[in-house]
Structure 1
């Protein structure tokens, strides 16, 4: 029997993850069964279980795949020279998140909320997310340092504190967009700029 190519293997993993994300949004993480995902994927049970032997492993893969994919898209914004202004950075990052998470038949922003909830009971998932978010916050602190060197922000507030506030804005965008649906990057950038520029 011929071996499956790496490209075909990656395509099957993606097919299973797409089915899982769709089921997770429709039914929630706990109500979704492996049978639901198998049916939605169009693959055999053996094929699905050969890639993801349990729902927990599939949930972990769904989270890490989405976080890794989004991180790769945001990294060029973080590395831009010269760095974008704080309000423009928020605009660019939230637009990137919106574009990455809007999928055909489901929205990864809504699934992110399910993942955050699941992380409260799943220690391994929480530690995985913690690693991603700590690394991202560290990159935000580096960016704040670049802003400081460029004279875009003051020096009175520690860089880590500013990074935490910036991360709250970005994760808050995910929550508001998933639940309220009436927020976009331009609105957040405008609001952030309003705090930075008090009127006379």
Structure 2
């Protein structure tokens, strides 16, 4: 009989294969995509951990190696989605300083639609569920609010530039303009998810109509 010392035990434990960061990220993405598909089909509230486990094709023990539970998956899914969307929206802000609100709304809403339309699901209808989750979970509310506030801050800076170069009126503050445009984008998301007939062009032309002066 061979007795293993504590050092020997540590040696064998250390030599066991570990999950690489690349493998971990791949598995997490697999699970999150499975969760998105479930959320798209059944909604966030109705989806269970068993649904996600089955959709991902993993065992329960494998699933819990990467996420603590459904709440963790929801938070991670929203966080990853907002981070990716932020990366795609930043260049639009940087390219709009010499343009105006109608061009901005066209570019932003088009990008949101393109980003949301995945091969097996669409994020726009799920966004409505995300807003519902924000009322239930303080951590999710803070996550989404932080994203919205960052977008509004960029919009405020952009609105100030538009006022300086005469693209828009200076009768109100850039902060008020930023809040209004943000509400317009969120309204676009809600309408698209519910009615399905909203377009970027309609919103662009709608904004332009407000700037037309009557004789």
TM-score w.r.t. structure 2 length? 0.88
In the alignment, structure 1 segments of 5+ residues that lack a partner are none
1:110 and 1:75, CA in 2 relative to 1: closer, same or farther beyond 3 A?
Answer: same
Q: Of residues 147, 150, 153 in structure 1, which corresponds to 2:168? A: 153
* Partner of residue 25, structure 1: 40
* Partner of residue 35, structure 1: 50
- The answer to whether the 8 A contact 1:83-1:143 is kept is no
CA drift of 1:72 comes to 0.8
Q: Of residues 110, 114, 136 in structure 1, which corresponds to 2:125? A: 110
CA drift of 1:3 comes to 3.3
* Partner of residue 77, structure 1: 92
Does 2:53 align with 1:48?
Answer: no
* Partner of residue 133, structure 1: 148
**Residues 135-169 of structure 1, C-alpha deviation per residue, up to 9 Å, x if partnerless?**
11111101101111221111111111100000011
* Partner of residue 61, structure 1: 76
Q: Name the SS for the 1:198 alignment partner.
A: coil
Q: Name the SS for the 2:135 alignment partner.
A: coil
Does 2:182 align with 1:167?
Answer: yes
In the alignment, structure 2 segments of 5+ residues that lack a partner are 1-15
TM-score w.r.t. structure 1 length? 0.95
1:18 and 1:83, CA in 2 relative to 1: closer, same or farther beyond 3 A?
Answer: farther
* Partner of residue 97, structure 1: 112
Does 2:191 align with 1:176?
Answer: yes
Aligned equivalents of 1:151, 1:61: Cα separation in 2: 42
- The answer to whether the 8 A contact 2:96-2:158 is kept is no
* Partner of residue 201, structure 2: 186
Alignment RMSD (CA, Å):
1.4
Q: Name the SS for the 2:44 alignment partner.
A: coil
Figure out how many residues of one structure are paired with residues of the other and give that number: 200
Bigger radius of gyration among the two: 2
